[in-house]
Structure 1
Amino acid sequence: MRWALITDIHANRQALEAVLADARAQGCERYGLLGDYVGYGGDPAWVIDQVRELVAQGAVAVQGNHDSAVTQGALPTMREDARTAVSWTRDRLNPEQLRFLAELPLSRSEGECLFVHANAYDPEGYEYIQGRLEAMRSLQATRAHYTFCGHMHEPMLYHLSGTGKAGDFRPVAGVEIPLLSHRQWLAIPGSCGQPRDGNPAACYAVFDSERGLLSFQRVPYDVEGAAASILASGLPEPVAQRLASRLARGE
C-alpha cells in the first residue's frame, strides 16, 4: 500500500491540487491527512471539501491546532496574524464544514501506523517536535512502529532503536529511505501549503507500507496564484500582504 502523507495545507488550494496530482502519479492509494487544513491561505472551504471527499474515499484525517482554533477558539500561544486568519476562516465556512473540522480525532491508529498532528505524548497540547528530545518523547509514548505528524513545517525524520538510542535525518527529496524494522520511526512530511525551509515548493511524503520505504517529495505549484487568492480574500490588507509574501520565500 502506497500512502500519501499530507499535512499543513493551510487553505492553499494551488498547493493541494499540485500535491494530489503528484501523489496520483506516484501511485498512492491511501491518504494520511495530518491536520491544519485551514489558516493563512485564501481557500479554506475548497480545501475542506477536498479533504472531506478524500475521507469519504478512505483517507485517514486528524485535527490540527488551526482546525481546532476555528471551531473551539485559538490557544493563547497563537500569533496575531494566525488569529486573524482563524477568525476570517470561521466566517467563511458553512455549518457542515465546521462540524467536519470539530469532529476530527486528535489521533488515529491504523495497523502499525499512528497519525497525529503534533506529537504522540500530548496531541491536544500541540507542542512542536523541534528536535531529537521531543521526537524521542513522542516515540516512547506510543507502541506504533511508524508515527506520522505535521505541525513543524520542515521535513524531518527521527528514529529510536530498541536500546533507546535516538537519531535524526534531514531527508533529500525524492530519495527512498528504508525504515528498518528494528527501529521506531517518526516522520514529519513538511507543509503542503506553507513550507518554512526557504523552499516554496509544496511538501508531502510517500510511504510504501509493504516495502517499508519512505520518500519525501517537493512539488512546485502556482505560488503566485496562491498569493493572489490571499490578497483577494478580504483579510485585512496588512495581514494579507504578510501572509501572501511568505509563500514565495518559503517561510
Structure 2
Amino acid sequence: MKIALITDIHANAQAFSAVLEHAQTQGVTDYALLGDFVGYGGDPGWVLDKVRELVSRGAVAVLGNHDAAVAKGEAPTMRDEAQAAVVWTHARLSTEQLAFLAQLPLSITVEDRLFVHANGFDPGGWAYVQGRLEAMRSLHATSCRFTFCGHMHEPMLYHLSGTGKAGEFTPTPGVTIPLLPNRQWLVIPGSCGQPRDGNPAACYAIFDAVSGNLNFQRVPYDVEGAAASIRAAGLPERLAERLLTGQ
C-alpha cells in the first residue's frame, strides 16, 4: 500500500492537480491529506471539491489552521495577507464546503500511523515543528511509530531511537529512505501549494506501508498560472510572488 502524503495545498489548483497526476504514475493507492487545503491561493472551491472526492474514496484528511480560520471566518492572529485570504476564501465557499472544513478532525490514527497538521503534542495549538526539539516533543507524545504532519512548508525527516537519541535529515527528492523498525519517525512532506525552501516545485511524499520505505517528491507545475489565479482574485501580490520564488 503506497500512501501519498500531501499537505498545505493552500488553494493551489495547479500544484494539487500536478501532484495527483504524478502520484498516479507512482503506483499510489491511498491518500493522506494533512490540512491547510485553503488560504493564500485563488482556487479554494476546486481544491476542496477534489479533497472531498478523495475523502469519499477513503482518503485521510485532517484540519489545518487556515482551514479552521476559514471555517470560522476569522483569523485574528494571522498576518495581514493571510487574514485577507481567509476573509476572501470564506466568502466564496458554499455552505457544504464550509461544513466539510468545520468537521475535519485535528488528528487521525490508523494502526501505527498518526496523521496531523501541526504536531503530535498539541494539534490545536498550531505550534511548528521547527527543529529537533519540537520533533522530539511530538514523537514523545504518541506511541505511534510514524507521525505524518504538515504546517512547515519545507520537507524534513526526524527520528527517535529506542534510547531517546534524536536525529534529523533533509531529504533528497526521489531517493528511497528505509524507515528502520527500531525508531519512531516524523515525516514532514513539505508544501504542495506553497513551498518555502527556494524551490517552486510542489512537494509531497510517498510512504509504502508494507516495506516501510519513504520517498520525497518534487513536481514542477504551472506556477505562473497559479500566480495569475491569485492576482485575478485580487488577493495580495505577495502571495503570487512567493510562488514564483518558492519562498
| TM-score interval, smaller chain | over 0.9
Name the structure 2 match of 1:153: 153
Amino acid at match of 2:246: G
Name the structure 2 match of 1:247: 243
- When the two chains are superposed, the root-mean-square deviation of aligned CA atoms in Å is 0.8
Is the partner of 2:125 in helix, strand or coil?
coil
Decide whether the 8 Å contact of 2:74 with 2:87 is kept in 1: no
Counterparts of 1:71-110 in structure 2, within 5 Å, are 71-110=71-110
Tell me how far 1:180 sits from its aligned partner.
0.3
Quote the sequence identity (%).
70
Amino acid at match of 1:64: G
Name the structure 2 match of 1:37: 37
Name the structure 2 match of 1:192: 192
CA distance in 2, matches of 1:220, 1:170: 20
Structure 1 residue 120 corresponds to structure 2 residue 116: no
Is the partner of 1:163 in helix, strand or coil?
coil
Amino acid at match of 1:66: H
Equivalent pairs, count: 247
CA distance in 1, matches of 2:75, 2:243: 24
Query: Could you list the runs of 5+ residues in structure 2 that have no partner in the other structure?
Result: none
CA distance in 1, matches of 2:100, 2:209: 28
CA distance in 1, matches of 2:227, 2:73: 26
Amino acid at match of 2:222: D
CA distance in 1, matches of 2:129, 2:226: 28
Name the structure 1 match of 2:178: 178
CA distance in 2, matches of 1:12, 1:76: 23
Amino acid at match of 1:148: F
CA distance in 2, matches of 1:59, 1:232: 31
Structure 1 residue 166 corresponds to structure 2 residue 162: no
Q: After superposing the two structures, state which structure 1 stretch, 64-73 or 6-15, moved more.
A: 64-73
Amino acid at match of 1:57: R
Amino acid at match of 2:242: R
CA distance in 1, matches of 2:97, 2:73: 16
Tell me how far 1:140 sits from its aligned partner.
0.1
1:36-76 CA deviation, whole Å, 9 max, x = no partner?
A: 00000000000000000000000000000000001125454
Tell me how far 1:78 sits from its aligned partner.
1.2
Query: Could you list the runs of 5+ residues in structure 1 that have no partner in the other structure?
Result: none
Amino acid at match of 2:138: S
1:219-244 CA deviation, whole Å, 9 max, x = no partner?
A: 00000000011111133xxx1x1111
TM-score normalised over the length of structure 2: 0.99
Name the structure 1 match of 2:133: 133
CA distance in 2, matches of 1:104, 1:61: 7
Name the structure 1 match of 2:63: 63
